[in-house]
A and B are shown apart, each in its own frame.
Chain A
């Protein structure tokens, strides 16, 4: 997070996504700003419906333009992706910014060979023959750790296991050596053992291709392993944003504390896990003040009425959006300190 903007690969400012519906406007993402550097892994955490995925779909221009109103800025390569012509954006998608999705079972077309689907990503942006594109597909399938890549490329998705499909999705994302890889819950649908392999692969790929990675997940454990910086979202807003080691050593926001308390680990027994009471609010009529206050055990007088701004509460602190005094944040945060592997 250097102030030098030239090092920034991606700079998102005030991203807001609204879905007008017959019941009213759903504000899925509100005023989200963050940036990403080359070689950085940004972990975005939060519960379902916190706006993590929608933010990324908005960046990629994958939201239906008839149904979603997107505002703000998404600066990439000196251009604002929200205002460039859709055909230009199409040539950035899959070429400069690639995306891996949550459910590898549903994300590959069931009726085309895996190799075809990867080769298609090649020919979508550059003018090469089919044979060359296939070669590239086989090469990348091998690179992401699929054994016998040459013959497996001729398989259909249903002949692949879940982990292999996710590897194939990653291979597809890498065909044009992108600058940014957005991974939207890449491990959620997979077995635990396979999850670690996929996360390792993403990290390997990040180093080898020197790219920036946005890793969206509701599992803070995954974020803790690999992220350089972490953004915690709730109800479409950023609750806390800072370097990963700081977030895990000294989390500042009660929502982050709640997420850490409810996160299983080797040391904790099941009965020691503390869930966050209640469920995320409806984004049709979000709570006034701090969106988390109805579920917050630390709420006090200003919380229901005044929305806390996203600021650094002390010179040594990172950004959070909470009214609590700095001393409380330090003392409560210290109780949740986790040793971070990364």
Chain B
């Protein structure tokens, strides 16, 4: 098991390095304009442009730039480890920028994922057990609504109703839990619910389908034949086998949101990592984008690792394979 984890960790590093190289290549080889023009003021002279190029390191060959960036990442730079360089725009540390924004996204994901897992799995189980009943139809109707409703619309509606009209929650923007714990919750509750609804709908459908499939298995008949209560048949024997694909999805969904919760972050003006990446991509601030992409790819790779380890705990056949 230890060997297995070690091997997977090595692969994780390889994958992250590849992602890094690809992102760098996309920005370097397919430039949408010269980043230096942004900082050169109106009607810059060639010497001014060249000076800025030199300051940003853009006059060096691409492999030197990439080497410098990789070196900073693996051994650290003047801002410590891992070194992510500094932004073109403000000449501030990318790492500190990410550290400032990361909690917003991580809190968003944490709250939403707990909500959608609980809601999705329980609705899915209810639906499967009461198959073809009005409860099932209602639940699947809800799931269809959740899947087909755009987050930006749902988010704006939620803000309008619960903040502007009813005044039950805080509005858009982010309040740090250090400043005000109630303010934090009242500002986060809507983003959590809105983001969770979309995923809960997917999870409800997936749980229902998996569970229905599992309940048709021979070992479920065995469980009934030995006289187990229906509750045990469904929750102990049925749900356990249905969990495997759900765990996979859960790990990947969480990881993808690290850099991908952009719409939710924008609607609620949380200014998290996704927002940071988009903003800086538009301004061709390569180091910031690289930093966020790197973080997101590490998250995906680590989530994969965790999922695989969880597999081994859920399904003994994986453990001994």
B317 contacts across to A, CB distance below 8 A: 110-111, 156, 158
A125–B228 alpha-carbon span in the complex (Å): 8
Whether the pair B225, A156 counts as a contact (CB closer than 8 A) is: no
Interface set, chain A 308-324, CB cutoff 8 A to B: none
A153 contacts across to B, CB distance below 8 A: none
Scoring A92, A109, A110 by chain B CB atoms within 10 A of each residue's CB, the highest score goes to: A109
A106 contacts across to B, CB distance below 8 A: 217-219
Whether the pair A107, B227 counts as a contact (CB closer than 8 A) is: no
Whether the pair B320, A156 counts as a contact (CB closer than 8 A) is: yes
A125–B226 alpha-carbon span in the complex (Å): 9
Please judge, given known A-B contacts A110-B316, A111-B241, A111-B314, whether A172 and B219 are in contact too, CB under 8 Å: no
A260 sits at the interface (CB 8 A):
no
B249 sits at the interface (CB 8 A):
no
Scoring A108, A110, A159, A169 by chain B CB atoms within 10 A of each residue's CB, the highest score goes to: A110
A274 sits at the interface (CB 8 A):
no
B228 contacts across to A, CB distance below 8 A: 90, 94, 120, 124
Interface set, chain B 232-279, CB cutoff 8 A to A: 232, 237, 240-241
Whether the pair A107, B222 counts as a contact (CB closer than 8 A) is: yes
B320 contacts across to A, CB distance below 8 A: 156, 158-159
Q: Which one, B222, B229, B316, contacts A101 given CB within 8 A?
A: B222
A23–B129 alpha-carbon span in the complex (Å): 25
A223 sits at the interface (CB 8 A):
no
B71 contacts across to A, CB distance below 8 A: none
Please judge, given known A-B contacts A103-B218, A106-B218, A109-B237, whether A62 and B314 are in contact too, CB under 8 Å: no
- Chain B's closest residue to A172 (CB) is B226
Interface set, chain B 281-304, CB cutoff 8 A to A: none
A33–B320 alpha-carbon span in the complex (Å): 48
B223 contacts across to A, CB distance below 8 A: 109
A95–B232 alpha-carbon span in the complex (Å): 17
Whether the pair A158, B316 counts as a contact (CB closer than 8 A) is: yes
Contact with A along B212-225 (1 / 0, CB 8 A): 00000111011111
- Chain A's closest residue to B133 (CB) is A66
CB within 8 Å of B: which residues of A?
60, 62, 90-95, 98-99, 101, 103, 106-111, 117, 120-121, 124-125, 156, 158-159, 169, 172
- B237 → A minimal CB distance (Å): 6
B315 sits at the interface (CB 8 A):
yes
A117–B225 alpha-carbon span in the complex (Å): 12
Range class of the B interface residue count = 20 to 34
Please judge, given known A-B contacts A109-B241, A111-B241, A158-B320, whether A93 and B224 are in contact too, CB under 8 Å: yes
Scoring A107, A117, A172 by chain B CB atoms within 10 A of each residue's CB, the highest score goes to: A107
Whether the pair B219, A109 counts as a contact (CB closer than 8 A) is: yes
Whether the pair B316, A95 counts as a contact (CB closer than 8 A) is: no
Whether the pair A95, B227 counts as a contact (CB closer than 8 A) is: yes
Whether the pair A101, B227 counts as a contact (CB closer than 8 A) is: no
State the 5 A-B residue pairs at the shortest beta-carbon distance, nearest first.
A94-B227, A94-B226, A106-B218, A121-B226, A93-B227
B240 contacts across to A, CB distance below 8 A: 109, 111
A122–B228 alpha-carbon span in the complex (Å): 10
Interface set, chain B 203-218, CB cutoff 8 A to A: 217-218
Whether the pair A108, B219 counts as a contact (CB closer than 8 A) is: yes
Q: Which one, B219, B241, B316, contacts A107 given CB within 8 A?
A: B219
Q: Which one, A93, A110, A172, contacts B315 given CB within 8 A?
A: A110
Q: Which one, A91, A95, A159, A169, contacts B222 given CB within 8 A?
A: A169
Q: Which one, B224, B226, B229, B315, contacts A111 given CB within 8 A?
A: B315
Whether the pair B225, A60 counts as a contact (CB closer than 8 A) is: yes
Whether the pair A124, B226 counts as a contact (CB closer than 8 A) is: yes
Whether the pair B226, A107 counts as a contact (CB closer than 8 A) is: no
B224 contacts across to A, CB distance below 8 A: 62, 93
- Chain A's closest residue to B317 (CB) is A158
- Chain A's closest residue to B217 (CB) is A106
Whether the pair B316, A93 counts as a contact (CB closer than 8 A) is: no
Please judge, given known A-B contacts A94-B226, A121-B227, whether A107 and B221 are in contact too, CB under 8 Å: yes
B237 contacts across to A, CB distance below 8 A: 109
- Chain B's closest residue to A158 (CB) is B317
Whether the pair B225, A99 counts as a contact (CB closer than 8 A) is: yes
**16 A-B contact pairs sorted by A residue (CB < 8 Å):** A62-B221, A62-B225, A90-B229, A92-B227, A93-B225, A93-B226, A94-B227, A106-B219, A107-B221, A108-B219, A109-B222, A109-B223, A111-B240, A120-B226, A156-B320, A172-B226
A124 contacts across to B, CB distance below 8 A: 226-229, 232
- B266 → A minimal CB distance (Å): 42
A94–B228 alpha-carbon span in the complex (Å): 9
- Chain A's closest residue to B316 (CB) is A156
- B246 → A minimal CB distance (Å): 14
- B236 → A minimal CB distance (Å): 8
